Structure 1
Amino acid sequence: MYVNGFVVPVPEGNKDAYREVAAKFWPIARDYGCTGHFEAWEADVKDGQHTDFRRAVDLQPGEKVVFSWMTWPDKASADAAHEKMMADERMATEFGAPDGSDMPFDGKRMIIGGFEVMFSEEA
C-alpha cells in the first residue's frame, strides 16, 4: 500500500465547501485506482514545543487544520493516476479557476507527501 498525505489550512467558515471539494474529487481518484480517501477536520491539535501542524502550514487566525490521506495499491499506481487525474476533464470543470483561486483553502500552504506503509493493523 502507498499513501499520499496532506496537511491543509482551511478557513473555519469553509468547512462545508472543503468537504464538497473532497467529495467531488473522490470519484475522480477512485476511477484511477485510489482505494481510500480520508479527510479529517481539526478536533484536538495542540501547539507543540518545537513544531506542530499549525506552524507547518502557517495557520492564520480563523483557520483549522485538515489532515487527509489517500491510499493506493502502490507508488506506481499513485504516480500513474496523478497524470491521468490532472488530464481528466472533470478537473477542469468541477473545481473552478485553473490557478486554484476558487478553492476553499490556500493551496500554497498545503503540505503533500507520499509514503510507503511500513506497518498497518486494523481491529
Structure 2
Amino acid sequence: MAYVSGFLLAVPEDKKQEYLDMAKAAWEIFKDHGCLAMQENWGENVPDGKVTSFPMAVQKKEGEVVVFSWMEWPDKDTADKGFEAMMQDPRMEKIQVMPFDGMRMMWGGFEPLIRMEA
C-alpha cells in the first residue's frame, strides 16, 4: 500500500529560489532511494488562526512563507529504508545548508485513506 511523508515548514520569502534549488537537488537523491513522487507547495492563502493554523504550527515569522510538501512512496518499508539510506548518501552533504529553520519544521508518515482524482 502507498505511503506518504508529509512536511510543514516556514521559509523566508527571499529564500524561495534557494529552497527550490535544494528541493530539486534532494529529489535526485530521494528518487534513487525509492521515492515515487515529491510535491513542494509555496503558501499563497495560508491564514493566521485564533487557536490553530499552519502559520502557528511552524511559528511563522514576518517575511516567511508556509511550505507544505509531501513525498509518495510505494510503502512504509520503502520509505523507512529510503530515509535511512539517504542519511548515508554522500550527495546529502552537498545540501546540508537548509534555507529555513529546521527546528520549526514538522513531518510525519501517513497511510493514505482515500485518493480521488478527476
TM-score category by the smaller chain? over 0.9
- Following the alignment from structure 2 to structure 1, what is the Cα–Cα distance between the partners of residues 80 and 48? 34
Instruction: Report how far residue 48 of structure 1 moved.
Output: 2.0
Q: Which residue of 1 aligns with 2:13?
A: 12
* Equivalence for 1:99: none
Structure 1 moving runs of 4+ over 2 Å? none
Question: Could you give the per-residue CA deviations for residues 22-47 of structure 1, whole angstroms, max 9, x where no partner exists?
Answer: 00000100001100000000110112
Residue 95 of structure 1 deviates from its aligned partner by 1.1
Q: Which consecutive residues of structure 2, in runs of 5 or more, have no partner in the other structure?
A: none
Aligned residue for 1:66?
Answer: 67
The answer to whether residue 117 in structure 2 is matched with residue 122 in structure 1 is yes
Q: Aligned equivalents of 2:59 and 2:47: distance in 1?
A: 14
Output the CA distance in 1 between the equivalents of 2:22 and 2:90. 15
Task: Give, as a single letter, the amino acid of the residue that structure 2 aligns with 1:80.
Answer: K
TM-score, normalised to structure 2, is 0.96
1:105 and 2:106 matched = no
* Range with greater deviation from structure 2 (7-16 or 43-52): 43-52
Letter in 1 for 2:95: F
Deviation at 1:121, TM superposition (A): 1.3
Structure 1: tracts of 5 or more residues without a match: 97-101
CA shift digits 1:53-111 (9 cap, x unpaired): 0000100100000000000011111001111011011011x214xxxxx3110000001
Residue type of the alignment partner of 2:103: K
Pairwise CA distance, 1:122: 1.3
**Corresponding pairs, count:** 117
| Structure 2: distance between partners of 1:12 and 1:24 | 20
Cα distance between partner residues in 1 of 2:56 and 2:106: 11
Identity of aligned residues (%): 49
Letter of the aligned partner of 2:73 in structure 1? W
With structure 1 as the length reference, what TM-score do the two structures score?
0.92
